[in-house]
Structure 1
């Protein structure tokens, strides 16, 4: 099946239904094993938006719904999904986040495979009507670059090792770019501009 055919299956009705079935961030993290919950809390505790990033998100005037297919056990989810929560906190009226466990929602996960696999996290951005805007995952470019530098060179990342501050900052910026792009698609949409009179 081509990517176009798969994305055509991501109808507004399907995205809305899955969004409604999703959990908010805290409820989702609470479904994990105690050690997984701790990993999420530890990583998230060290995160903050800059004043400029907060102002950017606070200035959003269109709703962006973010639906994440995730796994509480997944290190990539632990080190990326908390950024999306920061964005929601910065403008909860316009940035709405819900999370789904991949294994419990394979009907959706199987439609958004990456490199032939049901990877996590996979992030679906949708507008206020739940029309599809964009798909991102399973890692941002900055995260892939950092992993490649560690895994393809002479050094090898140790399990449970900390994440470099520059990598965290760059990965946060990648996710914010994806969110800003989704918002600008909504902001410049003829349909939504007519609806909102702007």
Structure 2
């Protein structure tokens, strides 16, 4: 299938959010709390001129998607981009074309396409600063076969989720990372 076909197969943001079984309130809270400043008007106007749409590969249980999707939706609102969502696990044929480090089905992945369905930029699954944060937190975990690994991992995930929900600096890092990728690929 071509990217335009994948885009057409996807569901709208409203439908995706209404179907969410996990993280729905968190996505809505970040979406309501995140704003893009006036100083970004020039970038957003230039982006709007590109007439892009976005395919999002995701799952609603994903903590990174919980943070990144609302930021993307705000960018899309300002730049007049239509966003369509595909569930990773139901669309592995597409997902496997966008593996992180060539091996991992990490999500979310944002595929920016033009009106003809040509890929113009890809972003995801995390902003570099957030990847460093996650790596730092994970470095303190015991080995996977250690009896306390699962408990400690759950604690790390809770700490990250709390930071994702409350630390607006992290929201800004996601925005800047998406902007950097788009700027490098489009302008």
- The alignment's TM-score, normalised by the length of structure 2, stands at 0.80
> Over residues 125-160 of structure 1, what are the superposed CA-to-partner deviations in whole Å (9 max), with x where a residue is unaligned?
222211122322211212112223433369x74514
CA distance in 2, matches of 1:132, 1:87: 18
Q: Is the 8 A contact 1:146 1:167 kept in 2?
A: no
Q: What does residue 178 of structure 1 align with?
A: 181
SS in 1 for 2:2: helix
CA distance in 1, matches of 2:130, 2:79: 25
- Unaligned 5+ runs, structure 1: 1-12, 185-198
CA distance in 2, matches of 1:59, 1:103: 34
Alpha-carbon RMSD across the aligned residues, in angstroms, is 2.2
Q: What does residue 151 of structure 1 align with?
A: 138
Q: Is the 8 A contact 1:63 1:128 kept in 2?
A: yes
CA distance in 1, matches of 2:38, 2:16: 28
SS in 1 for 2:83: strand
CA distance in 2, matches of 1:45, 1:59: 24
CA distance in 1, matches of 2:111, 2:46: 21
Higher helix share: 2
Q: Is the 8 A contact 2:71 2:171 kept in 1?
A: no
- The alignment's TM-score, normalised by the length of structure 1, stands at 0.76
Q: What does residue 50 of structure 1 align with?
A: 37
- Unaligned 5+ runs, structure 2: 142-154
SS in 2 for 1:113: coil
In the alignment of these two chains, the number of paired residues is 169
